[in-house]
Each structure stands twice: as C-alpha cells, then as structure tokens.
Amino acid sequence: MSIIESLQWRYATKKFDPKKILAQEKLDILKQAFNLTATSFGLQTISMLIIKNDTLRNELLGAAYNQSQIVDASHLLVLCVKNTIKEDDVDDLFDNVSHLRQTPETILEPFRNNLKSIMQNKSLEEQQEWSINQAYIALGNLMTVCAVERIDSCPMEGFDRAQFDAILKLNERHLKSILLLPVGYRAEDDMFSSFKKVRKELKHSIVEM
C-alpha cells in the first residue's frame, strides 16, 4: 500500500480487540521508531513507557476517563518528558557524539557550552514545554509507523497527567506523562473503522505561494 493508503487506513481506534497481541518484532519496530524520532538539538529529553501489565492498566483506566482503549489495546505506550533538563543531559549527548562520530572535543566544546546555556536560561516550565513539543513529534512519528506496519493506535491526551504520574510513580524516574498511544488491533465491531475520514478540503488547509 502507498503511504497515503496507509494514512487513510489508520484511524483513532476506539475499540481494540483485547485478544490480539502485538508480536515482539512489532514492539521492537515501535521502540526503534520512537528512538529514531528527531528531537531539537538531538537532546532526546523524552522517554516512552510500554505497559502490558493488566492490573496497572486497570488502575490507570479511571485517570483516562474510562476510555476502554487503555485496557483493551495490546500495549499502552505512554510518552513522557524529563521533568528537568540538566547539564548532565547535554553532556550525555555530546559524549555520545564524541563516541559515535569520533568528533574531537575542541570542535564539540562550543556547541556543548552553547546548549547548556540555552537550557539553563529556560525556566522549569519552559524546559518542560520545550520537551513536550518533542513528545508530540514522537507521537506523530509513531502513529505513521503504526499505520505502515498495520498496527492500530489511538493518540490520546484525554487523561489526568498528575494521576498517571502518581500511579506510575514517574517522579522517581524524573519523568512526567504527556501523551498516550494505546496500540494493538481493532475490534471487528469498532464502528469507527468504517467511518469516512473527516478532513478539510486541501484548498482550505494548504497555502501555496
């Protein structure tokens, strides 16, 4: 199928078939796709939780306004951001560049220092907002990869982030939950799968100059 056919095939799945479980190789593709997502400066201040545990997902259900995808999907992906960006995060990036590309420190140092000062000049809220933007890029990337791989998914921001953070004890990992992406396979009777796509006509969303 062409990429456009894949994007037509995908839809925000409302009802998953709880009996259909993603193969490990599909999960591995989603892990790689998340990690290959482009981030600003390549800093990767985002993380992805992959939750299979049913007890845990049942605990999360109420905090996601009882949206059944949380428990019925094969796996629940939770996209998170680091709750703060530290000098160490910048050092980790540049140490990795140095290791993987053998770039001399004399070349890296000004970029390393510049990025540290950019991050230090942001308030905690600004740092988190900046990271949240990266999480949305990862969400889009994952949704497209899911479509190409014929994995059903449902992007979700309809949940209580603070309750998720508490249930998942994310503070201990210095993370905050931002977005959900239940993934798996659609139930045969999910009526939304047959609904026509509702989109503006291209002439109303594209401006050509």
Ligand X SMILES: Cc1cc2nc3c(=O)[nH]c(=O)nc-3n(C[C@H](O)[C@H](O)[C@H](O)COP(=O)(O)O)c2cc1C
Spatial CA neighbour of 143 closest among 111, 182, 113: 182
Site membership for ligand X, residue 3 (CB under 6 A): no
Site membership for ligand X, residue 12 (CB under 6 A): yes
Give the residues across from 49 on adjacent strands.
78
Q: In whole angstroms, how large is the CA radius of gyration of the chain? A: 19
Closest to ligand X by CB, 197 or 204: 197
Closest to ligand X by CB, 42 or 140: 140
Q: How near is the Cβ of 93 to ligand X at its closest, in Å? A: 27
Closest to ligand X by CB, 115 or 138: 138
Q: How near is the Cβ of 42 to ligand X at its closest, in Å? A: 23
Spatial CA neighbour of 180 closest among 78, 99, 66: 78
Q: How near is the Cβ of 138 to ligand X at its closest, in Å? A: 12
Give the residue at shortest CB distance from ligand X.
158
CA torsion angle 17 15 11 195 (round to 10): 120
Site membership for ligand X, residue 62 (CB under 6 A): no
Integer Cα distance of 35 and 22 in angstroms: 19
Residue of 169, 196, 197, 200 interacting with ligand X (CB under 6 A): 197
Sheet holding 46-51, edge to edge: 46-51, 75-82, 175-184, 152-153
Site membership for ligand X, residue 73 (CB under 6 A): no
Integer Cα distance of 23 and 37 in angstroms: 22
131-190: contacts with ligand X (CB under 6 A): 154-158
Q: How near is the Cβ of 92 to ligand X at its closest, in Å? A: 28
Give the residues across from 182 on adjacent strands.
76
- Interface residues toward ligand X, by CB under 6 A: 11-12, 14, 67, 154-158, 197
